[in-house]
Amino acid sequence: MMPFLEKSCKTQVIDAEQTIGQTIKSIRSFVEPTIVHVRSIGTDSSAQVKGEIMKSLCEEHEFIELNVSDLVREECDRRTKLGQRLLQAYSTGQQFSVEMYVQLLQPVIFSGHDDRTKFLLNGFPETTEQVNAFEEKCCRLSAIILASDKGNTIDIKNNELSLFNIDSMFQKEFRLKPMDSWDHAKFEEHLGNQINYGIVTGHALSGRNNVAKVVAELMNGKVLDPEVVTEAVKKRLLGPEPEGEWEGEVPESEIEKDIMAIVEADRAAGIKCSYIFDGLHTSAPKFCEWANEALGQAAFWLPVSCDSATAGERFKAKNEADELSEDNVAELKEMDDVAKAAQEELAACLGEASNTKVYDCLLTNKSDEAVKGELTGLFRAKIVIVNHSPSLQVDTPCANLAIRFHMLYLSVHQLIRENIKNNTAMGERLMASRQQRQLSEAFHQVGVMDAQDEMQYSAVHFDIHVVMELVQ
């Protein structure tokens, strides 16, 4: 039945062998549109950035602006039943209830038009209570885009770090996305639509393969080796019972098809990771043209090289040779020249990619430990650990500090609690590893509030390897 439905009409498969909450979440993910709330930090320049973001999304990317003030005015002018309630509330000085806003927005958001699936909310919600009610009774907000001023920090209202508002709320849920200028590629990345990938290039003896592997480990990523993919394509095209070896070049389109199949399979399985291209399967201009269309802009490019002496030693080890012949030396020089020309070509292609970080060429004529140490400094996240007394309420200040300094706030025990309460696969693994351990006596002092259930869900109760996997 399912194959027929999938072939005949637009079908979404939902796994019913999960909790009611997870099933409902899956259903909502298929039927709910993309809802983005754009806010500014209140300055004139941030308001201008907000205007640029909304203008571009509406005019160039098919978003529909829902200006709540305009919708209220139109509803009142039409004297609908809801409009009369809004007029009565306004005339008596009462605030509009969240239920009124939901009644106002719901028919527009769920109008049934297939081409109306992306909306910008303007002027609503403004409080955490409004967010909670809207998401419970209408639909989930995909993200809050916080338009800010250019600079290294973001101003917090009245510099009040303990202020809990929708910005700090969404920061804790990884849904607050600051932007100090309009950039569509960055916007797509904020919504999780951008595939995160990087490029490592260098000749065959440069140490590129090892570097790509280490970078993937540091970024919790996956290496995409064009040579490995090409061999898999050959086997696929030859069929299960090949009559001979593959002859000629493998079509680039087939290699790209298999690369995208890997990415799509990860998406379907709910796997989120970065992809590290270990070299290119074609010329730099052709790769960039395909990758920009299929994957978006690269997050980074790391060129790799080594000196001629190191390349010579690696050549001898690979070919089990004692000395290098003149032909070998010429071959190595030609390989290095080709690699340098290819890197110059790729540099020219990436010159206009504003979101691609281009690193200086990494020289690998050193020990593997030294190379890994250098890569760790480049790619491993910089972490600040907050150690505090249980009597101090640091959750909201940490969230606001993360907003101010463009950081990501992770409350590990809250992540553990969320996964366990939602019965996710990770939550089940965490519960299976749980062993109750004694916590500090400070948790039992008079006046200590444990609003986030840290005593029950502290990371010390769970297997450290599972916790680290969750954090990564």
Highest mean pLDDT among 25-39, 369-383, 456-470: 369-383
Residue indicated by tokens 């796994």: 15
Q: What spatial distance separates the first Cα and last Cα of the chain, rounded to whole Å?
A: 39
Q: If you write DSSP's letter for every residue of 389-409 in order, what string do you get?
A: -TTS--HHHHHHHHHHTT---
440 confidence band (pLDDT: 50, 70, 90):
low
- Burial string for 308-323 (b: 16+ CB within 10 Å, else e) reads eebbbebbeeeeeeee
**In this predicted structure, what is the pLDDT of residue 449?**
57
Mean residue pLDDT of the chain comes to: 86
Q: Of 101-115, 286-300, 362-376, 428-442, which gets the smallest average pLDDT?
A: 428-442
Q: If you write DSSP's letter for every residue of 172-185 in order, what string do you get?
A: HTT-EEEESS--HH
Neighbour order of strands in the sheet with 176-179: 64-67, 118-122, 34-40, 143-147, 176-179
Has residue 28 got a pLDDT over 80?
Answer: no
Residues across the chain = 472
23 confidence band (pLDDT: 50, 70, 90):
low
Has residue 393 got a pLDDT over 90?
Answer: no
**In this predicted structure, what is the pLDDT of residue 334?**
93
CA distance 147 to 53: 8
Contact 307, 250 (CB under 8 A): no
49 confidence band (pLDDT: 50, 70, 90):
very high
Q: What are phi and psi of 251, to 5 degrees?
A: -55, 130
**In this predicted structure, what is the pLDDT of residue 355?**
79
- Average the pLDDT over 24-47 and give the result: 80
59 confidence band (pLDDT: 50, 70, 90):
very high
Contact 258, 224 (CB under 8 A): no
**In this predicted structure, what is the pLDDT of residue 276?**
96
Query: Which domains occur in the chain, in start order?
Result: 19-190 (3.40.50.300), 197-379 (3.40.50.300), 411-471 (no CATH)
Has residue 419 got a pLDDT over 60?
Answer: yes
**In this predicted structure, what is the pLDDT of residue 233?**
93
The more confident residue out of 157 and 89 is 89
> Containing H/E element for 300?
strand 300-305
The strand pairing partners of 278, in sequence order, are 200
**In this predicted structure, what is the pLDDT of residue 444?**
56
- Burial string for 135-157 (b: 16+ CB within 10 Å, else e) reads eeebbbbbbbbbbbbeeeebebe
301 confidence band (pLDDT: 50, 70, 90):
very high
CA distance 338 to 146: 45
117 confidence band (pLDDT: 50, 70, 90):
confident
Has residue 340 got a pLDDT over 90?
Answer: yes
3 confidence band (pLDDT: 50, 70, 90):
low
8 confidence band (pLDDT: 50, 70, 90):
low
CA distance 351 to 285: 12
**In this predicted structure, what is the pLDDT of residue 9?**
63
Contact 305, 206 (CB under 8 A): yes
The pair of structure tokens assigned to 355 is: 């979101």
Residue indicated by tokens 């970078």: 215
CA distance 12 to 344: 45
**In this predicted structure, what is the pLDDT of residue 20?**
63
Contact 74, 105 (CB under 8 A): no
CA distance 297 to 198: 9
**SS3 assignment for 319-348:** HCCCCCCHHHHHHHHHHHHHHHHHHHHHHH
The residues near 467 (Cβ < 8 Å, ≥ 6 apart) are: 412, 416, 430, 459
25 confidence band (pLDDT: 50, 70, 90):
low
**SS3 assignment for 213-277:** HHHHHHCCCEEECHHHHHHHHHHHHHCCCCCCCCCCCCCHHHHHHHHHHHHHHHHHCCCCCCEEE
Q: What letter represents residue 425's amino acid?
A: A
**In this predicted structure, what is the pLDDT of residue 389?**
75
> Which three-class secondary structure state does DSSP give residue 359?
coil
Q: Of 47-61, 160-174, 300-314, which gets the smallest average pLDDT?
A: 160-174
CA torsion sign, 349 to 55 to 126 to 78?
Answer: negative
CA distance 202 to 206: 6
pLDDT digits (tens, 9 = 90+) for 207-251: 999 999 999 999 989 999 999 999 999 999 888 877 788 888 899
Q: How would you classify the pairing of strands 300-305 and 357-358? A: parallel
**In this predicted structure, what is the pLDDT of residue 243?**
76
261 confidence band (pLDDT: 50, 70, 90):
very high
448 confidence band (pLDDT: 50, 70, 90):
low
